[in-house]
Amino acid sequence: MEKYKKSQDLFEQAKRLIPGGVNSPVRACRSVGTEPVFIEQAKGATLVDADGNQYIDYVGSWGPMILGHAHPAVIEAIQSVLHRGTSFGAPVDLEIQLAEMIIEAVPSLDMVRMVNSGTEATMSAIRVSRAYTGRHRIVKFDGCYHGHADTLLVAAGSGVATLGIPGSPGVPEDIIKHTLSLPYNDIETFASVMQEQGDEVAAVIVEPVAGNMGLVPPDPEFLRELRRQTEKTGSVLIFDEVMSGFRVAYGGAQALYGVEPDLSAFGKIVGGGLPVGVYGGKKDIMAQTAPEGPVYQAGTLAGNPLAMAAGIAALTEIRRPGFYERLEETAARLESGLLNAVRNSGVEAVVNRVGSMLGLFFTKDPVRNFDEAKKSNLDMFSAYYRRMFESGIYLPPSQFEVVFVSAAHVDADIDKTISTAQAALRELGQA
């Protein structure tokens, strides 16, 4: 189509040079039967593609852009350190500043280590937990995604779920035999597994708000049970807050639900849109990390001044009084508009929301775990996605990802989104 001509040409070029034409699978939009548009630039909640088409963006670079794109404070912070050089592989003052802000925000953290991605953060947290406990076994939950490290690519959400594959070729059986994946929010199954084999479990890792099977809120009692059982068995409880951290509350899901893990992983928002991951937690566990302890973990570009400056600027903006209250209002407005649109359409769908994370599933039943999420009518999701996209609403191109509302979304954006959804759902209801 003429409207997407430049993007189509670019995608053809990209496919010759990069597998699938993209540097992260879900971007290819295969599950919704479309091709990606190439982004030229973005500002606030608005994306502009290579052909000049404009979109209201609900992907937010998959989570980091809680302030919207190209926020002046973040851009200015990056510019102000740029002249110092971009990386030294030696300590800089900005690392202390960001570490201090993160530790202040999240009470369960005594120490943190900066890495370059969420994948690195969870992978390192697992390694440290295994060293600390002297055990191998890892418990995770179906539909949770913790990055693409071998150990954690079992019944994973996000792109793995989108592509409909159970795990991944290239991951040796010898490695994943130590990983046990259990149903999310299932207190009984978890408790009985821990009673049987808890003393072999090095770590239990969870997304305390699940955002990689669509949005699935935790049963608060489930999170409390994770804490109780791991305390009993001496297993490390890891909250993967790469998505939920600084998103559902400044102190993350652990602040929202009042459950303190031993270790946490962060990413996305904490880098202000630059590549940053963080793992941290109790001092005696973190002291395992080299050079303080024997567990090797390193990074050439870790803690570089550009990324640190962007993170500091982003956190400075979002910790201002009233920030999360306003975000909550905007997201609640979108939620109630969508619920209305569903009701008036005759389409069976449910909306899940925690703060500014939201998911619409095309099923009539509640969605509390991965099996229930998979009941969503994916053909209907694809049709909905395409209809919204054609009208300038840029949603994540997968049922198993979440809609992110940012502080840059204004009432007019939300209103336009709701009226477009209303029309889209009504058409689906009549089809």
Ligand X SMILES: *Cc1c(COP(=O)(O)O)cnc(C)c1O
- Asked if 338 and 419 count as a contact pair (C-beta separation under 8 A), the reply is no
Q: How far is CA 282 from CA 65, 258, 260, 288, in A?
A: 28, 17, 10, 11
Q: How far is the CB of 146 from ligand X (least distance, A)?
A: 5
Least gap, CB of 338 to ligand X (angstroms): 22
Region of 212 please: left (phi>0), alpha (psi -120 to 50) or beta. Answer: alpha
Binding window for ligand X (CB under 6 A); candidates: 32-40, 102-110, 116-124, 300-308:
116-124
**Known catalytic residue at 240:** yes
Q: Tell me the H-state helices in 305-350.
A: 305-318, 323-343
The distance of closest approach from Cβ of residue 372 to ligand X in the complex, given in angstroms and rounded to an integer, is 19
118 sits near ligand X (criterion: CB under 6 A): yes
Contacts of residue 205, Cβ cutoff 8 Å, sequence gap at least 6: 122, 125, 126, 138, 139, 140, 144, 146, 152, 238, 240
- Single out the segment in contact with ligand X by CB under 6 A; choices: 50-58, 238-246, 294-302, 318-326: 238-246
Stretch that binds ligand X, among 103-111, 140-148, 159-167, 186-194 (CB under 6 A): 140-148
| Window of 141-149, 215-223, 250-258, 388-396 that interacts with ligand X by CB under 6 A | 141-149
- In whole angstroms, the minimum distance from the beta carbon of 270 to ligand X comes to 10
- Catalytic entry in 240, 250, 262, 394: 240
Interface with ligand X, residue 142, by CB under 6 A: no
Nearer to ligand X, 29 or 421 (CB): 29
Tokens of 20: 């699938």
Asked if the peptide bond before residue 291 counts as cis, ω within 30 degrees of 0, the response is yes
Give residue number: closest CB to ligand X: 118
User: Within 10 A of 25 (CB to CB), how many other CB atoms are there?
Assistant: 17
Catalytic residue among 55, 132, 145, 250: 145
**Cα–Cα distance measured from residue 52 to residue 43, given in angstroms and rounded to the nearest whole number:** 13
What is the residue whose two structure tokens read 């295969």? 30
Q: Which of residues 143-182 bind ligand X (CB under 6 A)?
A: 145-147
Question: In the complex, what is the shortest distance from the CB of residue 58 to ligand X, in angstroms, rounded to a whole number?
Answer: 15
| Shortest distance, position 116 Cβ to ligand X, whole Å | 8
**Which window, 118-126, 179-187, 350-358, 396-404, contacts ligand X (CB under 6 A)?**
118-126
Binding to ligand X by residue 252, rule CB under 6 A?
no
Angle, helices 72-82/305-318, rounded to nearest 10 degrees = 150
Stretch that binds ligand X, among 94-102, 113-121, 198-206, 314-322 (CB under 6 A): 113-121
Closest CA to 394 of 37, 41, 2, 70: 37
Report, in Å, the least distance between residue 420 CB and ligand X: 26
**Residue 145 bears catalytic tag:** yes
**CB atoms closer than 10 angstroms to residue 83:** 7
3-state secondary structure of 85: coil
- For ligand X, the closer of residues 165 and 412 by Cβ is 165
CB of 106 to ligand X, least distance (A): 15
Tell me: does residue 117 bind ligand X (CB under 6 A).
Answer: yes
**DSSP 3-state assignment of 357?**
strand
CA-CA-CA-CA torsion sign (304, 305, 307, 311): positive
* 122 lies in the binding site for ligand X (CB under 6 A): yes
Residue with Cβ nearer ligand X (342 or 357): 357
Q: Using CB under 6 A, which residues numbered 263 to 302 contact ligand X?
A: 267, 277
Q: Of the listed 140, 268, 324, 413, which one is catalytic?
A: 268
> Does residue 132 carry a catalytic annotation?
no
The pair of structure tokens assigned to 213 is 């099977």
- For ligand X, which is the closer residue by CB, 74 or 125? 125
Q: Which of residues 198-217 bind ligand X (CB under 6 A)?
A: 207, 211-212
Integer-rounded Cα radius of gyration of the chain: 21
**Taking the CB of residue 92, how many other CB atoms lie within 10 A of it?**
17
* β-strands 54-57, 111-115 pairing: unpaired
Residues making contact with ligand X (CB under 6 A): 117-119, 122, 145-147, 207, 211-212, 240, 242-243, 267, 277
Residues identified as active-site: 145, 240, 268
